[in-house]
Amino acid sequence: MGKDTENNEQKDAINETENNDSSEKENEALTEGESSKEGAPSKEGGESKEACASKEASQSTEDLLRQILEADKKEVKYAKRAAFFMMGIFLIFLVAAIILVPKIVTTLNSANTAIKAANETLVQANEALTGINTMTTSITGTSDKMNSMLVDNSQSLTDAVDKMNKIDFAGLNQAIQDLQDAVGPFATLMNKFK
C-alpha cells in the first residue's frame, strides 16, 4: 500500500513537472514573442536570466525524477524477485505437505493399530495373571490341606509303617514257596483232565 501511494505521488510529481515545463516554455515563447514585437533588445543568447534559472530548475527536477524512476525500477525488480522466491518457497512447502501428510497419516494409523493391539495384549496378560493368581491360591490351599492331612494322619501312618516293618518277609517268602510246592502237583494233575 505504501509503495503504491509513493509511486502514485512520484508519477503525479513527474506529470506536474512536465506540465510546468510545457507551461514555462509557452510562457517563454509568449514573452519572447512580445519582446520581439515591441522591439525590445534581447539579451545575450536570446534568453533572459529568469529563463535560464527556470531551465536549470527544470533540468534538476528532471534529473531528480529520473533518479526516482530508476530507484522505482530497481525496487520493482527486487519486488519481483522476492515474489518469485516466495512463490518457490510456497511451492516447496506445498509439495512437501503433499508428500509428507499421507505418510504421516499412515504412520499415525499404524501407531494407533499397534497401540490397540498392545492394549488387547495387556488385557489378555492381565487375565492370564488373574488365572495364575487363582491357580496359585488353589495350589496353596491344596498344599495346606495335604499338610493338615499329613499332620492329622501322621500317627496312623507311623503305626502302619511300624507294622509293615514288623512283618517277617523271609518267613512269608518261605511260606509262599511251600504253598507253591504243595499246590504244584495238584495243578499238574488238573491239567491232565482238561
Residue 96 in any domain: the answer is yes
Q: How confident is the model at residue 95 (pLDDT cuts 50, 70, 90)?
A: very high
Provide the pLDDT for residue 23.
53
Q: How confident is the model at residue 170 (pLDDT cuts 50, 70, 90)?
A: confident
Contacts of 21 (CB under 8 A, 6+ apart): 58, 62
Provide the pLDDT for residue 192.
82
Judged by average pLDDT, the poorest of 7-16, 20-29, 30-39, 110-119 is 30-39
The span from the CA of 48 to the CA of 38, in Å, is: 16
pLDDT at 142 over 80: yes
Encode pLDDT of 27-70 as tens digits: 555 455 444 444 444 444 445 777 777 777 778 888 888 999 99
Place of cell 496359585: 136
Q: Domain range holding 122?
A: 2-36+47-192
Residue 11 in any domain: the answer is yes
Encode pLDDT of 101-111 as tens digits: 899 999 999 99
Provide the pLDDT for residue 162.
84
Residue 161 in any domain: the answer is yes
Residue 41 in any domain: the answer is no
Residue 111 in any domain: the answer is yes
Contacts of 156 (CB under 8 A, 6+ apart): none
pTM for this predicted structure:
0.35
Give me the number of domains the chain comprises: 1
Residue 42 in any domain: the answer is no
Residue 97 in any domain: the answer is yes
